[in-house]
Every structure is written in C-alpha cells, then in structure tokens.
Chains A and B, each alone.
Chain A
Amino acid sequence: MQGTICQTAGAALFSAESFVGLVFLVTLGMLVTGAFIATTSRRLVRAVSGLALCFTGVAGVYYFLLSPFVAMMQMLIYVGAVSILIAFAIMMSTPEEGEAPGIKNAPLIGPLGFALGGLVFAALSILALKTPWQIFPRQGRGDMKHMGTVLLTSHSMVFELISLVLLIAIIGALVLARRGRN
C-alpha cells in the first residue's frame, strides 16, 4: 500500500507492543460503536450516551497520537461538558422520550443519507491511503512545555481572540435563553 506511513515494523505476538495494539483496537471499537449509536439511535438520550462513548474513544486515540494533554482536554471539555450540556438540553426540551412518532421521515432520506455517508467515507479513505504524504523533519518536541511556549508567543493573538469568542458566546447564550421568560 503506497503512501501509508508506518513508524515501526510489526512486533512479535505476545509482546508489550502487541498488547498496546490490542488496547488501540478496544479504543477503536469504542469510537465506532459510540458514533454508530450517536447517529442511528431513535432516542436522544441514548444518542448522547453514544456521543460520550465516542468522545472517550477519541480521547484514547489522541493518547495514542502522543498528546496526553489534548486527550485530557478532550475528556474534560467534550465528555465532561458538551455531552452533559446536550443531556441538559434534552431534559429541558423533550417531555416525551425520543422523536415524535406522528411525523414520518421522507422515505428516501434514510437511503440517501446512507449513500452520502458511504460516498464521503470511501472518497476520503481512498484519498488518504493513496496520497504520498511528505514527512518533514521535526523541530521541537511537542510536549506541554513546547505547546505553552508556542501558544503564548507566536499564537498569542489567536489565544486572546478565542477567549473573546468564548466570552461573547457565553453572554449570547445567556441572552438567548433568558428571552421570553417573564
């Protein structure tokens, strides 16, 4: 398979490396199962649980990509905050479980959506596996110290802007949710 970059050759069976590979497969399974539940389950509460499972899997994958800090942030922000926020939204907005049974989807939506997803998946996968990716020599170690230095020197403007965006988002969310309340 040309274009696939693999860092090391395969290790022997029953070694520490193969155990790591097994853990990676478990993480992968969590991710795929969670994404499947999140998109196909009829009840929204189950979909949110699937989303949390999927994000836990994504955090594990980030750990395998040598960035434990981003993995921790993924757990804190996505699993701990965003999923819980969506769960609260479900509790506050749907008196009955799941989607209303009265209205049916248009009959073609399911197959069309499946075809769209399948096409996107196939196209992106072929593109990812066929492209001869270029490896550049690395500068810096990519650990937390290096990240903090880059974040506060060459990216300090973006850092300030993102905090401004978050502030505006919080105020906007408060205003939107407050309106209409007597």
Chain B
Amino acid sequence: MKRRELLKMIVAATGTAFVGSNVLAYTVIPMVDSKDSGFSKDEIAFFNEVGESIIPRTDTPGAKDADVGSMIAILLADCYTPVQRKAFKDGIMSLKAKAKSQYTKGFLLLTPEQRLLLLSSLDEEANMYNKKMALAETQDSENGTAVPHYFSMIKQLVLFSFFSSELGATKVLRYVAIPGSYDGDFPYKKGDKAWAT
C-alpha cells in the first residue's frame, strides 16, 4: 500500500463523536529569527567563519553552508544562561585579540591555514583546561554550573548546529525519514557515513 493511501485510510478509520471544542495539541513552537537573538549580522557572520574552520566545506557542505552562525546566536540567546552567554562572548573577544596579537590582523583577514592553526591551538588549550577542570567536552554545558573553556563552547555549538541542520544531517551524514524496516546486521564499509540519528 502506498503511504499516501495508507494515511488516508488511517484518517478515515477514526473520527469521533465529540462534545466540547478542540484546541491545538502538540504545541507548535514558531521558528525563531536570528535577528531576534540580540546578535548582529556581523557577529553571526563571524560565528559562521569560525564554524567553517571547525567544519569546513569539503566535497560536502560545511558550517557556513548550513548557516551555523544563526543557529548559534539563537541557542545562545534562548537556551544558554546569562553566565554561559557572557563566557561565550568574552571568549569571542579573546579569540579576536589572539588573532591580533599573533598575526597583527583581525581573524577575518587571516588565511584559512592561519585560522586553522590559531583555532587548533585554542582547541588544545581548551582540552588541557577542561582536563584540569575535569570538564568533559561532551558534557551538556547548558545545565552545568561550571563553564568549560570558551573554545569548547564554540566547538560544541558548531557541531550541534551543523549536524542537527538539514544539510549536516542529510548531505554530510545519512538520514532516511521513513526507514520502513529494521536490519540489525547491515553491512558497513569504511567511508560510509553515520546515520544522523
């Protein structure tokens, strides 16, 4: 049976004699515009540039293609605590200052190689810091009272925003909306992509 017919049949099979009115179930939460996040277009563009160094476009889309910058702004604005948000903002300032002091120019003027070098050193610094503070990078920093190194927050936000995006989930990872069956002994060869969920 085709799915569409099936859906029709399912709907036809129900329907109820009701008294009383109907209101919305499964509250639909409206999408949020990054304009309402309190972060400027330039800041969002900057997040995208940093994101692109972490998840670059290769033969598949990268962070900028998925506009991780907007998602990061929205998550920071709505899902993070003021303490975490401040730590993130301070971190971005610190990142910018590092670019200036090491290369005497702004981050956005650096070559991709320079950016990678700079951010890689920050990544190592973050790993050491977190180890010292016993903060796992995968820890959900939203709920923690301790704030991890700011670059860990950046990296977490980029990865989450990217792989939860449609491009990340469907073009970089694999995703099938309606698998229709289950195979627990499915062949895998090196290079095959992971399932998005």
Partners in one complex: no
Which A residues lie at the B interface, using CB under 8 A? none
